[in-house]
Amino acid sequence: MNVTEEKDLVDRCRQGNDEAWRQLVDQFGQKVYSIAYHFTLKREDAEELAQEIFLKVFENLHRYDGSFPLTAWLVSLSRNLCIDRYRRRKREKSFRFVSDDAVAPLLQSSDDPSSEAIKKERIKILFWALSEIPEDLAEILVLRDLDGLAYDEIGKALELPDGTVKSRLFRARAEVSRKVRERHEERRPTALAAIVMAAGAAV
Amino acid sequence: MSCRELERLFVSGAPESAYAAHGATCLACAALARDLDRAAGMIEGLTPAAWGPGLRQALYDIPRFTVSCEGAGPLLAATIEEEIEPADRARLESHLSRCGGCSEAAATLAAARGLEEPLPSPWLFQRVAVARPKEKASAWRRILAPRLVVAYAYAAAVVVMLAGLNPADLARRAGSGLEKNTRTAAAAVRGSAADRIGAVQEDLARAFAVVKGKAGGYSRAALSNAMALIMKTETRRPPTRPRNGEDGGTSKQDGTTQMTTWRA
């Protein structure tokens, strides 16, 4: 669906066309819910947030002028709501101790339980690392790497030039990778600790 | 610490070969590239969280539970006219609970209807009371107004005088037996009236002659004064005060000071 078609869809929604509204929900509901989930990591919160976002979308349909993709407009409308939830979750330390249930919806079911457990652990570390880096960096990494938005969509949504989006994305990835490496190194037993553990096992 | 060359290459959209070429010469950037690859591997395989049918239906139903900012205007107008349907009222209230702008508009419209009447300053009542036109007095009240009583008294006195009913006269005539014979008294009154009219005419003629003489005298005097003013040629100027250094002043050219008076 190109921008012109999206504008036409929005105009029909404004005129009270129920079928057009259902089409808009079908087209963007999954994306909005996915973004909401990545900012909350909780199904109930994500559903509530998605409803809030679509309420806001419906009430502000007249503001969409069709000058950029509808996805970017949806993200720009929902940004404050998402950030508010994200901050609340950070205050509640919800990202520090991410549960298996929280990351399960983000993984395809696998027949190999050990492989699935490793993936879950990685995702939990990823969300922990995201909570440890600055908010403006984490936001861009989520939108790009987790939600798959294009650079221009992120730029329009966050009102940033493409160069800034790319620069922040690079720094976000670098910060996340540094956090992950540091965490890995902290938890790896040192050589002395390994000797002690081995001696203990021998005794 | 990285030299930030990798970031520059990424922002500029450089090909993979450029990363590899730089990583071969910069150990810090090579380590960072390994970290980035590891982090990218964590993200791979993630799937979008699937939304349930319940949420989908809830999103479908949104137009039934709220109204857009565009649609809120007509519903607000209908609310003011108390012509809004209950379902629309619920949708509007749901929208107002979330939308600050429309909520402000609704409060402003409601406030316009509940305004108190403005109270003027106390002095305004006093001014209005003073400026209020007086009640129209009745004819009798106007006739019997106190200020007219004196005029009535004078008028009555004139009538009495013209009629020859001078109290002194009446008293004198009463002493001559007027009360005994009414006809005689009436004749006396008529005679007295004729005398009085004649006397008044004489008085008026005398007064006119006096006024005429005075007017003539005044006019002649005025004419004489006017002629004198016109013919007057010599004017008298007031004396001027001498200045310093002039004759009769206090300062002299030789520096000595002599106390004199310019009037002398």
Among A59-63, A106-110, B1-5, the least confident range:
B1-5
What fold, for A3-202? Answer: Rna Polymerase Sigma Factor; Chain: A (1.10.1740)
Tokens describing residue B151: 């005029």
Q: What is the pLDDT of residues B80-135, one digit of tens each?
A: 888 889 999 999 999 999 888 889 988 888 888 777 788 878 788 778 877 776 66
> In whole angstroms, what separates CA B34 from the centre of its chain?
82
* Cβ-nearest to A59 among B7, B10, B95: B95
Distance from the first to the final alpha carbon of chain B: 113
Single-letter residue type at B85:
E
Residue by residue, DSSP assigns B213-237 as HHHHHHHHHHHHHHHHHHH-----P
User: Which residue of A17, A123, A177 is the best one to mutate when testing the B interface, meaning the one whose CB has the most B CBs within 10 A?
Assistant: A177
Closest listed residue to residue B60, CA positions, set A23, A14, A70, A63: A23
Tokens describing residue A117: 């457990």
Q: What is the pLDDT of residues A129-161, one digit of tens each?
A: 998 899 899 999 999 998 889 999 999 989 999
Work out the angle at residue B249's Cα, subtended by the Cα atoms of residues B246 and B250, and round it to the nearest 5 degrees.
135
Average pLDDT of every residue of chain B: 78
Cβ neighbors of B41 (< 8 A, separation 6 or more) are: A122
pLDDT band at B173 (very low <50, low <70, confident <90, very high): low
User: Which residue of A57, A71, A122 is the best one to mutate when testing the B interface, meaning the one whose CB has the most B CBs within 10 A?
Assistant: A122
pLDDT band at B239 (very low <50, low <70, confident <90, very high): low
Question: Residue for token digits 């909350």?
Answer: A40
Closest listed residue to residue A119, CA positions, set B148, B10, B46: B46
Tell me: pLDDT of B264 over 50.
no
> In whole angstroms, what separates CA A186 from the centre of its chain?
27
Tell me: pLDDT of B31 over 50.
yes
Work out the average pLDDT over A171-195: 78
Domain locations in chain A? 3-202
Tell me: pLDDT of B248 over 80.
no
Chain B residues whose C-beta is within 8 A of a chain A C-beta are 2, 6-7, 10-11, 32, 35-36, 38-43, 45-52, 54-56, 58-60, 62-63, 66-70, 95, 98-99
Residues A76 and A82 sit within 8 Å (Cβ to Cβ): no
Work out the average pLDDT over A95-115: 80
Tell me: pLDDT of A9 over 90.
yes
Q: What is the pLDDT of residues A44-101, one digit of tens each?
A: 989 999 999 999 999 999 999 988 889 899 988 888 888 888 888 778 776 667 888 8
Work out the angle at residue B250's Cα, subtended by the Cα atoms of residues B245 and B251, and round it to the nearest 5 degrees.
45
B132: distance to nearest CA of chain A, Å?
A: 58
Answer whether A106 sits within 8 Å of B49, measured CB to CB.
yes
